[in-house]
Structure 1
């Protein structure tokens, strides 16, 4: 029987370890005897539709070995939604033209929907395709997995950043800034904002207030809490999730933009909070928006997160080739907290696609302004260790792929 080729693609917002998953999948695929060629789509599904495919068999081993040390999405990402039957027909024409039997897509909620829909279309068209989802999101909101690759590293960055900024605040609050606000990513859920509490490990100084989207924002209670904290401590350190909502469930701060999947562009909630603190309490306040820094800071990535990212990539190849599975995502199953133990298991994409996992009530502090010890126990193992970084002259060295494109076989 003729061997089939494999396509790997990256989708959605990047993480500091998404390329570690790429590396895990690529190396496993290159070593798999049943796979003929290994390709990567440029800018995710867009590259597949446009036949912009990189032949990874043409890359040197040295550069492939640098892929897991590289931030961003090395093959380019996208937020493309397959909307029409024409999109799917074109996609499968590309698959057929290039003898594709395996499709691995690395992304979050919307990306898992894309994989699920492709798997369903493969069945409808009678096309022999194994489609596997590789989880990735700093938001940590994918269903049916204990956590998501990318979250541990972003959580580590968040905790360290607010710890250091709070140290600055403590030093300056006497006659300068009294309130510091850091805005956190998280389109729907408060997992990343909650990770700021990890700054308190080792006796460190954690933010006194964490505003979570799972807790409706009450301006009066918040301002009272800020004032009470300043009176007690002299300063107040705040982390606010970008998806903060009011009592009616509406986002408090959005921009006039939606992506291809209809997701509202969030942002500037930190500025909103800053304004009400300044106007109604008369306190001097500074705000920071980590934004891309929060999700792509490879230099302090978690070793646990990095290793797991590699492993879920490799597991996806196994599920597709050895186990003959399709329409599933690689799930991380926790077996024990301390020592931290886990294993991987396939879960049906039908239960993952376009769903959201929110912070459970048991992880949220009773007063609504922080998290419980149960959350700390959950999150602490995920930030353990420091992923290795290759430095030269004090600056990290990243992969530089040749990007040899596969010859196009279709028109358009």
Structure 2
């Protein structure tokens, strides 16, 4: 009997995560002589624990193809961190129980560093339990902080959105600064790594063009230097545009916008950096300001997705299936940039034990000497990733996105599992 596959989406979704799902399902269907049904977890890994498996074979080829231009997580995602094997072995044993009941021999987990860790643990435990599973992690994170891979699918489209938003908002501010608003602050995602905020720097080509200031988690926030830079920009240019990563922090490591709470992954919850900075500028310098938080808008903007990002997201999904069918295990398809004046890339494999729980930060050579901008090296890295347009089809003036049927298969384990 052919082994079936399980695919799940994890963590915050992106504009192109469904393109990876499309790559997985279409490639599996093209190898129907080697792989059976692809089941998808309803709401990510929770779907496996609760034995809520979506039968993707019931989705039409047109629906699956349309996933490539549909944002969000078509099968549902989750922020659910499996505990360590030592703390809760039962969760992992439950996964193996469900996989065994449904003849699942391939596990494709589409997410960031935490999901890479889960994928690795499932592979290890399945071996020890005598039911080996080919576990392949599919990279996805807008934060662009996974190691080994040159970049992460999902990042290119967010970078394109932030660069465009910075450019367009700057044109608005410059038209009003003579008599009104002097300051605009755009808060981006990026807890520990400043890749997304750095993309805002693509909006301007010179130091006089906005953004005038970028705040990175990698550079300690200095209030005096920051206010001086703001004041200088207003006096020289008439206004100041700031792109700030939510993870901006002081030299002691404290976040400027620490809410005091933590999420299910144990990460500090952040929010409110833009208004915090705006109030600081108003109280110290008196300038009128406006601010915005890109939040979900930046990661769901499929209407202006990067064509390179879409292509790469599909490619890693496709490669994951090909890796598994070739007998590879505990690996991740990684994007490798090829040398040369023209941008080119191909897919290589990265071992999960070198990916799980490892973060990639902005190199110091990508950040200007004063810590408030990007260098030419950063531009050379970022610009190819936002290249090209991949517009979805439109109907009546709006993007035409798809929705899956989402039919669940009948449970076979005949028991429930509590997911806290």
| TM-score band, normalised by shorter chain | over 0.9
Give the 5 Å matches for 1:272-291: 272-291=276-295
User: How far is 1:191 from its partner?
Assistant: 0.3
Task: Measure the CA separation in 2 of the matches of 1:109 and 1:27.
Answer: 25
Structure 1 residues not aligned, in runs of 5+ = none
Q: Is the 8 A contact 2:211 2:243 kept in 1?
A: yes
Task: Measure the CA separation in 1 of the matches of 2:141 and 2:195.
Answer: 11
Give the 5 Å matches for 1:25-174: 25-32=24-31, 33-83=33-83, 84-174=88-178
Greater shift, 237-246 or 258-267, is seen at 258-267
Q: Does 1:8 align with 2:7?
A: yes
Task: Measure the CA separation in 1 of the matches of 2:122 and 2:260.
Answer: 30
Greater shift, 223-232 or 394-403, is seen at 394-403
Q: Is the 8 A contact 2:123 2:132 kept in 1?
A: no
SS of the residue 2:178 aligns to: coil
Distance 1:108 1:265, change over 3 A: same
The normalised TM-score by structure 2 is: 0.96
Give the 5 Å matches for 1:8-407: 8-32=7-31, 33-83=33-83, 84-200=88-204, 205-321=209-325, 323-336=326-339, 338-407=341-410
Work out the number of aligned pairs and report it.
410
SS of the residue 2:334 aligns to: strand
Q: Is the 8 A contact 1:11 1:107 kept in 2?
A: yes
Greater shift, 249-258 or 152-161, is seen at 249-258
SS of the residue 2:281 aligns to: helix
User: How far is 1:232 from its partner?
Assistant: 0.4
Q: Is the 8 A contact 1:166 1:205 kept in 2?
A: no
Task: Measure the CA separation in 2 of the matches of 1:371 and 1:267.
Answer: 24
User: How far is 1:206 from its partner?
Assistant: 3.0
Q: Is the 8 A contact 1:187 1:243 kept in 2?
A: yes
Task: Measure the CA separation in 1 of the matches of 2:383 and 2:166.
Answer: 16
The normalised TM-score by structure 1 is: 0.97
Structure 2 residues not aligned, in runs of 5+ = none
Task: Measure the CA separation in 2 of the matches of 1:130 and 1:201.
Answer: 47
Greater shift, 124-133 or 237-246, is seen at 124-133
Q: Is the 8 A contact 2:182 2:289 kept in 1?
A: yes
Task: Measure the CA separation in 1 of the matches of 2:163 and 2:356.
Answer: 29
Q: Is the 8 A contact 2:180 2:288 kept in 1?
A: yes
User: How far is 1:241 from its partner?
Assistant: 0.5
Task: Measure the CA separation in 2 of the matches of 1:400 and 1:174.
Answer: 47
Task: Measure the CA separation in 1 of the matches of 2:114 and 2:239.
Answer: 40
Q: Is the 8 A contact 2:208 2:237 kept in 1?
A: no
User: How far is 1:31 from its partner?
Assistant: 1.4
User: How far is 1:337 from its partner?
Assistant: 5.6
CA-to-aligned-CA distance 1:250-298 (integer Å, 9 cap, x gap)? 2121223322221111111111111100000011011100100011100
Q: Is the 8 A contact 1:20 1:309 kept in 2?
A: yes
Task: Measure the CA separation in 1 of the matches of 2:307 and 2:341.
Answer: 16
User: How far is 1:123 from its partner?
Assistant: 2.0
CA-to-aligned-CA distance 1:332-388 (integer Å, 9 cap, x gap)? 000036311111111111111111100001101001001100000001000000113
CA-to-aligned-CA distance 1:117-149 (integer Å, 9 cap, x gap)? 111211222222000000011100001110000
CA-to-aligned-CA distance 1:149-172 (integer Å, 9 cap, x gap)? 011000000000010000000000
Task: Measure the CA separation in 1 of the matches of 2:264 and 2:19.
Answer: 26
Q: Is the 8 A contact 2:18 2:73 kept in 1?
A: yes
Q: Is the 8 A contact 2:210 2:240 kept in 1?
A: no
User: How far is 1:37 from its partner?
Assistant: 0.9
Task: Measure the CA separation in 2 of the matches of 1:313 and 1:202.
Answer: 38
SS of the residue 1:22 aligns to: helix
Task: Measure the CA separation in 1 of the matches of 2:355 and 2:210.
Answer: 33
Q: CA RMSD of the aligned region, Å? A: 1.3
